[in-house]
């Protein structure tokens, strides 16, 4: 179907533009991937009891996901810049489906580690690839919003996962819940193959208006030259460091919140899931607000420093302020409210920090965002194990939370070393 025939179909007011359709499918992907990533936290009490795991062993199993995940932030971004998002994300979704189903069949720590490794391989390339897709299909003025929206969907996945898993546990075992969630991932793969195309000009439903809006992104299509890795890495390292500091706290929330409410406040599994969902819903709002405010500030001021860095600093410092009461006060209501506020502020970081690699190096959006999210992957390796180890050593939930508090302060400081206002010039920076 030609662009002209697409233009002659239903009035524009009655249709959802193809860029918005693709953004919607990417939001669904983020939701699905995070459901498959964090479902293990909700079944942790039953899983650890059945498999005979202590906190350190469970932390090791959870962190196994992050080893290939961190690696494929780099490799996956490079592959995506070469092969395109269409094939890369379809493969990612298929691997995630199989790995999630396999998790339901594990019978030992070794098997659980293997399942988490496979899941990390599947999810590792997904977010840099999605960033590449955004850089192709949405104009730069919407990048912050798009990153905020997709990550809001991810946090929605975090928030609803405990409720979904508890509901499934009423009908199937914890093993069966992994099988059912894995099959749901396959639905997204099919939807992606139907809707997405690597080049907007070849999409049968794209209109002239869609393509005109994307005209400024024309340089993002086509073959990408060899990535100047060292020069690009030097520009992205400060962003990677900030992402590590942010990621540490998110991994704590994703891995330990259900167990925290279950063990520290002696709630049953259902109420632990409800409180965890309530906390993580704060992140859904934070992601949306952070991306929107970042783009609004950019439109009002024309300054990427104000639009990206300042929102990140406010998010880090706000999360710091609201985590302090969590370690000082043992009141379920106060702790739940403060954790929700901390999650909201920490998620303000996401939209702007994912936009920064696109601001710095839009031509290498996949590789640059992969370099940045490598910090999040490393945090995923270290955070669950250190948290679990400190918990086994001290039997005090407050102690491991202090690590998050310190890293949030460090992240706010490191944010001043990012320079999204200085575009990367490969012509002068290539090795």
In angstroms, the CA 55 to CA 61 distance is 10
Using 50, 70 and 90 to split pLDDT, how confident is the model at 242? Answer: very high
pTM exceeds 0.85: no
Is residue 222 included in any domain, yes or no? no
Chain segment 299-348, per-residue pLDDT in tens: 889 888 889 999 999 999 999 999 999 888 888 889 889 999 999 999 99
CATH number at residue 157: 1.20.1250.20
Q: Is residue 132 part of a domain?
A: yes
3-state secondary structure of 8: coil
Q: In this structure, is residue 142 part of a structural domain?
A: yes
Residue 313 belongs to some domain of the structure: yes
Tokens for 192? 């992606």
Residue 222's pLDDT band (cuts 50, 70, 90): very low
Number of structural domains found in the chain: 1
User: At 177, is the pLDDT very low, low, confident or very high (cuts 50, 70, 90)?
Assistant: very high
Instruction: Give me the DSSP letters along 184-226.
Output: HHHHHHHHHHHH--SSGGG-TT--HHHHHHTGGGGGGSSPPPP
Domain that includes residue 340, residue range: 16-195+232-421
Confidence band for 430, pLDDT divided at 50, 70 and 90: very low
Any domain includes 208: no
**Chain segment 355-389, per-residue pLDDT in tens:** 898 888 877 777 788 888 888 888 888 887 888 78
What confidence tier does 178 reach under pLDDT thresholds 50, 70, 90? very high
Higher pLDDT, residue 235 or 149: 235
Q: What is the mean pLDDT of residues 43-48?
A: 86
pLDDT at 13 over 50: no
Is 99's pLDDT higher than 90?
A: yes
**Least confident segment among 67-76, 221-230, 397-406:** 221-230
Which of 35-44, 77-86, 159-168, 311-320 is predicted with the least confidence, judged by mean pLDDT? 77-86
Dihedral angle of Cα 308, 225, 126, 141, to the nearest 10 degrees: 30
Is the residue at 289 inside a domain?
yes
Whether 240 is in a domain gets the answer: yes
Domain presence at residue 243: yes
From the CB of residue 118, how many other CB atoms can be counted at a distance below 10 Å? 20
């Amino acid at each position: 179907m030609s662009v002209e025939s697409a233009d002659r179909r239903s009035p524009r007011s009655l249709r959802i533009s193809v860029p918005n359709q693709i953004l919607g499918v990417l939001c669904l992907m983020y939701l699905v991937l995070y459901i498959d990533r964090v479902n293990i936290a909700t079944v942790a009490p039953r899983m650890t009891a059945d498999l005979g795991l202590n906190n350190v062993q469970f932390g090791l199993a959870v962190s196994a996901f992050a080893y290939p995940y961190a690696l494929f932030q780099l490799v996956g971004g490079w592959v995506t810049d070469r092969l395109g998002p269409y094939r890369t994300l379809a493969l990612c979704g298929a691997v995630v489906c199989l790995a999630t189903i396999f998790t339901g069949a594990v019978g030992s720590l070794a098997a659980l580690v293997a399942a988490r490794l496979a899941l990390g391989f599947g999810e590792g390339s997904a977010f840099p690839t999605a960033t590449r897709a955004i850089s192709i299909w949405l104009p730069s003025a919407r990048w912050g919003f798009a990153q905020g929206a997709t990550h809001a969907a991810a946090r929605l996945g975090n928030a609803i996962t405990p409720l979904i898993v508890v509901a499934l546990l009423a009908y199937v075992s914890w093993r069966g819940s992994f099988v059912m969630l894995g099959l749901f991932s396959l639905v997204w793969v099919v939807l992606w193959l139907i809707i997405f195309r690597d080049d907007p000009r070849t999409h049968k439903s794209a209109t002239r208006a869609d393509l005109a809006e994307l005209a400024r992104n024309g340089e993002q299509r086509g073959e990408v030259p060899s990535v100047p890795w060292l020069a690009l890495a030097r520009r992205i390292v400060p962003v990677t460091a900030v992402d590590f500091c942010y990621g540490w706290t998110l991994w704590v929330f994703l891995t330990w919140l259900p167990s925290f409410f279950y063990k520290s406040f002696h709630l049953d599994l259902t109420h632990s899931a409800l409180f965890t969902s309530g906390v993580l819903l704060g992140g859904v709002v934070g992601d949306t607000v952070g991306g929107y405010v970042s783009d609004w500030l950019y439109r009002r001021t024309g300054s990427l420093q104000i639009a990206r860095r300042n929102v990140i600093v406010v998010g880090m410092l706000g999360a710091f302020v609201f985590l302090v009461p969590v370690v000082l006060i043992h009141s379920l209501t106060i702790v739940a409210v403060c954790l929700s506020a901390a999650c909201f502020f920490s998620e303000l970081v996401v939209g702007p920090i994912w936009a920064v690699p696109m601001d710095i190096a839009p031509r290498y959006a996949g590789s640059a965002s992969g370099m940045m999210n490598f910090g999040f992957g490393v945090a995923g390796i270290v955070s669950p194990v250190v948290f679990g180890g400190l918990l086994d050593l001290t039997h005090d939930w407050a102690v491991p939370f202090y690590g998050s508090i310190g890293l949030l302060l460090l992240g706010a400081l490191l944010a001043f070393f990012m320079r999204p206002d200085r575009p990367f010039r490969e012509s002068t920076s290539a090795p």
